[in-house]
Structure 1
Amino acid sequence: MLLSWRAPVDDAELSRLHAEAFAHPAGVEPWADRLDRHSIGWATARQNGALVGFVNVVGDGGAHAFLVDTVVAPALQGGGIGRQLVALAVAETRATGAAWLHVDYEPHLEGFYRQAGFGPTHAGLIALT
């Protein structure tokens, strides 16, 4: 398994991974442009050259960073790849001087994120679409 920080990402392969893991229709999203414009950084996991995991960190330009788009290929979930990606993202984000790293998650993922060191918070959400 090769873990990398800010490694180049191919739009088609990341779009495929997202579609597979989140069970939505496949289509190519402009990931590379989006990462370049909005991200502090991102972690990738590759196995035999294939993208099998990804997590993105976006920031507010100040003290706050946000962990988003955590994804691991369904066939490899539960094997520690997600934990390794999140740990790399936490370490690299800490090195930027950000004071806070936020994450929102669905209830069934609470154990995963709590084990990664995230504490509980109260948050609000508005669906815009």
Structure 2
Amino acid sequence: MATDLRIRFTVDDEALSRLHTEAFGGDHVLQPWKARLEKHSRSWVGAFAGDRLVGFVHAIWDGGTHAFLLDTAVAPDHQRRRIGTELVTALIADLRELGLEWLHVDYEPHLDSFYHDTCGFRSTAAGLVRLN
């Protein structure tokens, strides 16, 4: 089944929480995604197979020209179909149209070929501190 990309779609907290659990593991916890995205994110994109949410990505922002890509997720049974690439590409295009100038992303080394080679991010030095 082909997927349909939807930009800034109306978020269903249960569907997005379920996808997040499927993609990242852990215990299923219902999260207030809709309120969180409306408050902090500049844009988000979902991939749908029929009515089922099978992919997601969003970008939080500083209120100016910088955004930060988060939560790239594709349901395990839909991975390796370029859905992640399509999600990130659509998000980048939407952020450009909205006038943003910079999109940052952090990722683990095993994702370098996806973010760097496939999606066009260039590697930069960054810092990280654990807060708890």
User: By the TM > 0.5 criterion, same fold?
Assistant: yes
Q: Could you tell me which amino acid in structure 2 is paired with residue 4 of structure 1?
A: R
Q: Flag structure 2 segments of 5+ consecutive residues without an equivalent.
A: none
Which residue, 110, 115, 124 being the options, matches 1:121? 124
- Superposed CA RMSD in Å reads 0.8
Q: SS at the partner of 2:26?
A: coil
Matched, 1:64 2:62: no
Q: CA deviation at 1:128?
A: 1.8
| Residues in 1 aligned to 2:64 and 2:14: alpha-carbon distance in whole angstroms | 31
Q: SS at the partner of 1:17?
A: helix
Cα deviation digits, residues 86-113 of structure 1 (max 9, x gap):
0000000111111110011111111001
Cα deviation digits, residues 64-99 of structure 1 (max 9, x gap):
111101000011111100000000000001111111
| Residues in 1 aligned to 2:41 and 2:75: alpha-carbon distance in whole angstroms | 22
Deviating 4+ runs (over 3 angstroms): none
Partner of residue 28, structure 2? 26
| Residues in 1 aligned to 2:104 and 2:37: alpha-carbon distance in whole angstroms | 18
Which residue, 102, 109, 112 being the options, matches 1:107? 109
Cα deviation digits, residues 15-64 of structure 1 (max 9, x gap):
01111111110010000000010010100000021000000111101121
Which residue, 82, 85, 93 being the options, matches 2:84? 82
Which residue, 4, 7, 14 being the options, matches 1:5? 7
| Residues in 1 aligned to 2:109 and 2:80: alpha-carbon distance in whole angstroms | 17
**What percentage of residue pairs aligned between the two structures are identical?**
50
- Counting matched residue pairs gives 129
Q: Flag structure 1 segments of 5+ consecutive residues without an equivalent.
A: none
Q: Could you tell me which amino acid in structure 1 is paired with residue 64 of structure 2?
A: G
Q: SS at the partner of 1:42?
A: strand
Cα deviation digits, residues 104-123 of structure 1 (max 9, x gap):
11111110011211000111
With normalisation by structure 1, the TM-score equals: 0.97
Q: Could you tell me which amino acid in structure 2 is paired with residue 61 of structure 1?
A: G
With normalisation by structure 2, the TM-score equals: 0.95
